Amino acid sequence: MRLSVVKVKSVLIPTGPDTDLLYRYGSGSYMIFEDRHFVITAAHVLRDAGVVIVAGFSEEVLATPVYIDFESDVAVLLIPRMDSRSPVAFNPIKFPRSRNIAGENIVYAGYPNSHDEPLVLSGIIAGYENDRLILQSYAWMGSSGSCIFDHRGRIVGIVSGIEIGSSNHFPPQLIESMIWASPAWNLSKSRMREILN
């Protein structure tokens, strides 16, 4: 899994008088399905992007967004085959009939804080609420778009964001150990076939 993680770099379209290029970074997973090479990431990483670049260790390729859903916060980027990365087979988890997947162990890799090397993090599924998975693990800016895998190598979800706690007595605070993720069962194999063709 660590060899499939990539950095997703969005070159933002300048607005206003400032013409300096701005970048937004996230993570993603390099995958293969029916001989098509692609990356799954979070849609918000691509917001306002003019150009999207996928980077491995010493390799960068241009990516073509073929699916962006801001509501579920999932995006699919079509890319050429990468030499510096090893794709994982696209194998999403099916919708759990009981929706009770709390307590399942998970692992994901990404580039939090735009580290040069990917980090591998583990945790558990803490719950499911409002069509989102809630994970107990750690995430920081740059983790968005990391694919989350179960112990069988199936894609469980995609890191979307961290919890922002609030109350009447304290200002909002980041809770880096509580992560929101988009469930992968919305991207079935038949749906991916439609997206990639």
Question: What is each CA distance from 145 to 75, 140, 171, 197, in whole angstroms?
Answer: 8, 11, 27, 22
**Per-residue model confidence as pLDDT tens for the chain (197 residues):** 778 999 999 988 777 776 667 788 899 999 999 999 999 999 999 988 889 999 988 899 999 999 999 999 999 999 999 999 999 999 998 877 555 678 889 999 888 877 888 888 889 888 888 888 888 887 777 789 999 999 889 999 999 876 555 556 665 555 567 788 889 988 889 999 999 98
- Look at strands 74-78 and 36-41 and give their pairing: antiparallel
Identify the pLDDT of residue 85: 92
Residue-range domains of the chain with CATH: 2-87 (2.40.10.10), 105-186 (2.40.10.10)
